[in-house]
């Protein structure tokens, strides 16, 4: 899938409150990570209607126990991104030993670390504001 076609998925996601920021972050991320796929998925929260969001999915080189290997990931960009963080998942078969080994991987392979957890509160901090993106 070429860059323009990947970026075109944004047209199927009308709920983004900060569409230009989403577009800029996606473009920068996809330029650096050309093998990443972009698609549209529908998400919903309890009691809310489903809506389309961008999903970025691929593999990135991650160093684990002195070895670097490609690890599958997926990011879901919620409608309030970049005010709220992306939903980040390990896109590998769920493995309880990985959840135990890596303290930032939760059940269902959701990744939560300090950077993601404190994202929203840091959005108002000028020292952090330009660092809250995909790159």
Answer yes or no: is 87 within a domain: yes
Cα–Cα nearest to 27, from 8, 7, 9, 45: 7
pLDDT tens digits for 105-130? 777 778 777 788 888 788 778 887 67
Question: Average per-residue pLDDT in the chain?
Answer: 84
Write down the pLDDT at residue 1.
52
Domain presence at residue 22: yes
Q: How many CA atoms lie within 13 A of 33 on its CB side?
A: 22
Number of domains the chain contains: 1
CATH number at residue 29: 3.10.110.10
Q: Indicate the pTM of the whole model.
A: 0.82
Cβ atoms of 24 and 129 within 8 Å: the answer is: no
Residue 20 has pLDDT above 90, yes or no: yes
91, 98 Cβ separation under 8 angstroms:
no
134 is a domain residue: no
Domain containing 27: what range? 3-129
d(CA 119, CA 77): 13
Assigned domain for 24 exists:
yes
Q: Reduce the DSSP state of residue 89 to 3 states and report it.
A: strand
- Residue 17, CA atoms < 13 Å, CB-side half-sphere: 7
Domain membership of residue 57 (yes or no) is: yes
Mean pLDDT over 50-72 rounds to 86
Burial 42-67 (b: 16+ CB within 10 A, else e): eeeeeeeeeebbbbbbbeeeeeeeee
């Amino acid at each position: 899938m070429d860059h323009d076609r990947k970026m075109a998925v944004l047209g199927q996601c009308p709920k983004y409150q900060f569409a230009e920021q989403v577009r800029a972050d996606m473009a920068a991320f996809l330029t650096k990570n050309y093998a990443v796929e972009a698609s549209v998925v529908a998400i919903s929260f309890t009691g809310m209607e489903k809506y389309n969001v961008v999903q970025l999915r691929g593999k990135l080189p991650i160093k684990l126990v002195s070895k670097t290997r490609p690890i599958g990931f997926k990011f879901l960009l919620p409608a309030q991104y970049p005010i709220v963080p992306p939903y980040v998942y390990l896109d590998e078969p769920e493995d309880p030993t990985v959840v135990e080994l890596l303290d930032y991987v939760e059940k269902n392979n959701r990744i939560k670390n300090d950077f993601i957890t404190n994202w929203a509160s840091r959005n108002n901090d000028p020292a952090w504001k330009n660092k809250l993106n995909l790159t």
